[in-house]
Amino acid sequence: MADTSSIIENNLYDPISYDVVSVSAEYIKKRTTYRPEIGIICGSGLDPYIGGLAELVNKADIFPYEEIPNFPVSTVPGHVGRLLLGNLENVPVVIMQGRFHSYEGYELWKTAMPVRVMKLLGVKKIIVTNAGGGLNKAFQVGDIMVMKDHINLPGFSCQHPLRGPNDERFGPRFFPTNDLYCHEYRKLARKVGIELRLEGVIREGVYIMLGGPNYETVAELKMLREMGVDSVGMSTIPETIVAHHCGIKVFACSLITNMCIVEYGSGIETNHEEVMEVGHRRAEDLKKFVTKMVEKMSSI
């Protein structure tokens, strides 16, 4: 084995290099016959244990994260963490049940590493969901906001999942993001919304990721609104950037679980229980929406 100490000292070691990620992907490939085409990352509302998407997957092969070599492991007590491979509406998918957040203490590269594993499993398209606070005044709690763009706020201070050496086998060092969120999928989402009679619920907008874990101050929200932000959350962007970098087509949406409180002394406070409750309430619609998107995305 080569001496890697100088590489590590010089901070040139790439913890999500092709070689490292291949070990995880090979482990999975040897233990399942499914070859997923679409990857799905579940945010609040699609969590399997509250009647989510996973139960629609027939005869799934299930891999707890701690079983997969080189895969990040959840340190949060009681947190679900497993990859599920199977067919959803006859489309082979891989579903990530439980994602990694920066506020839990994970480096950004770790929060996005599973996307590279998906890539090496053969994934070509990804659906990423999250819970978000609504900042657009026209939004309502329970809306599903299709992401047309994002503001990668952590990136403004050099916090980036691809910071460090670049492995060209995944993608180039420098890459554009002006069309990160696939136009065709967004168009499709509007059609699916109509088909499912969710026209008024499906919105489109710009998402921003902040580190959390606190919800935003009034001053922060006023600034974000000025910046053109429609939904605020604490995840997703590392995963969608890494997916785009390695050529996976991206569809993402935010379930608006609360409206951001952009005034002082209102007596209303954003709280986690509200966020989870709306997730539960909208779980059925979100499940139908994502399932239909999977079905349609597989043919374009």
- Which secondary structure element, helix H or strand E, spans residue 19, and what is its range? helix 18-31
Count of residues binding ligand HPA (CB under 6 A)?
13
Of 49, 214, 272, 284, the catalytic one is 272
Catalytic site includes residue 101 = yes
Q: Does 22 bind ligand HPA (CB under 6 A)?
A: no
Site for ligand HPA in 96-135 (CB under 6 A): 131-133
- By the 8 A CB rule, do 54 and 64 touch? no
Amino acid symbol at 154 = P
- First-residue to last-residue Cα distance in the chain: 44
- 108-121 and 237-245 helices cross at what angle (nearest 10)? 40
**How many CB atoms are closer than 10 A to CB 243?**
26
Instruction: Give the one residue of 270, 276, 277, 298 binding ligand HPA; rule: CB under 6 A.
Output: 270
Instruction: Give the one residue of 32, 74, 102, 257 binding ligand HPA; rule: CB under 6 A.
Output: 257
Q: Does 275 bind ligand HPA (CB under 6 A)?
A: yes
Catalytic site includes residue 103 = yes
Whichever of 34 and 106 has its CB closer to ligand HPA, that residue is: 106
Catalytic site includes residue 44 = yes
Q: Measure the CA–CA gap between 300 and 294, rounded to whole angstroms.
A: 10
**What b/e string do you get for 105-139 counting C-beta neighbours within 10 Å, with b at 16 or more?**
ebbbbbbbbbbbbbbbbebebbbbbbbbbbbbeeb
Closest distance to ligand HPA from the beta carbon of 187 (Å): 26
Whichever of 70 and 159 has its CB closer to ligand HPA, that residue is: 159
Catalytic (active-site) positions: 44, 79, 101, 103-104, 131, 234-235, 258, 272
Judged by the rule CB under 6 A, the positions of this chain that interact with ligand HPA are 131-133, 215-216, 232-234, 257-258, 260, 270, 275
